[in-house]
Amino acid sequence: MKNTLTFALTLLLLGGLKAQDKQFAQTYQSTNLARGFRDLEIWSTVRMGKEAFYRGIDERLEFEIGLNDRLQTSLYLNATHQSFATKGDSTGTITSVSDFSISSEWKLKLTDATTQTIGSAVYGELGISGTGLELEAKLILDKRIDKHLIAFNIAGEWEWEQEVKGKVINGKVEQENKMKLMATPIEFNLGYMYNIRPSFGLGFEAKNQYEITTEKGLEHAALLLGPTLFFNSKDKEYKLILNFLPEITNLRKTDEQPNSLDLDEYEKYQFRLLLDFEF
């Protein structure tokens, strides 16, 4: 009898560990995939609303695998497309640019959100594009109490861009190539979810963003806040997360950005759809 109960409990725990219980579109949780289990995630984000015409579309395809019960890793394929008009331009010209990159994510769970006082994890992501390099570090905290889920993230990012300068040496032009640190954005994320049913939840997410550049220091700051919907299929083979995140207020008004919204660095509206498939 004892062996039977032990075996049943083991199966239950393994079933619970199969996939990370992701319920937010912007805010990360400390849970992760168990060893050998895999996820395929599709991220689609639409950003719009600046002082002149603007529309941005971001796509991320993520392959995720659990290395053990505490550590998981992911590989992202990223694509960004932007179409915009220049402020003050009366010609009606719309410019379109696209960028592609790859990135690798590593997440280490430190404590469990369901069995310990608070769940915690550390996260790192390295991204490489044709002309740039990004490194992101994140501290993840969360807690699940009955039907309530709360998560909080602190994130810092370092962005480098390729800089090419020409020098005349002995009458010849020689190029000097180096990576230049351009910005170090800092971000705070807060998510709350009320699970109406095990397969359905409704909550909100808040994002407090700061843009710090090497030349001018703190240039931009804004608060974004909006609802998030979570749905999980009955067989748990896929989940859907939908988030609407409008900018609420400009936290750093300057002569260049005196308005209640900073529509230079940020967008007025952001929509994100996340589809997660287990296999």
Q: How far apart, in whole angstroms, are the C-alpha atoms of residue 246 and residue 49? A: 10
Report which residue type is found at 206. Answer: A
- Domains, the chain, in order of start with CATH, read 19-278 (2.40.160.40)
What confidence tens digit (pLDDT) does each residue in 26-73 have? 999 999 999 999 999 999 999 999 989 999 999 999 999 999 989 999
Q: Is the dihedral of CA 210, 153, 160, 101 positive or negative?
A: negative
Q: What is the mean pLDDT of residues 77-88?
A: 92
Q: Is the pLDDT of residue 14 over 80?
A: no
Dihedral through CA 146, CA 119, CA 124, CA 277, nearest 10?
Answer: -30
- Which residue would you say has higher pLDDT here, 241 or 113? 241
What confidence tens digit (pLDDT) does each residue in 130-187 have? 889 999 999 999 999 999 999 999 999 999 998 877 665 666 656 677 788 888 999 9
Give the pLDDT of residue 17: 39
The model carries a pTM of: 0.87
What confidence tens digit (pLDDT) does each residue in 86-144 have? 887 777 789 999 999 999 999 999 999 888 999 999 999 999 998 899 999 999 999 99
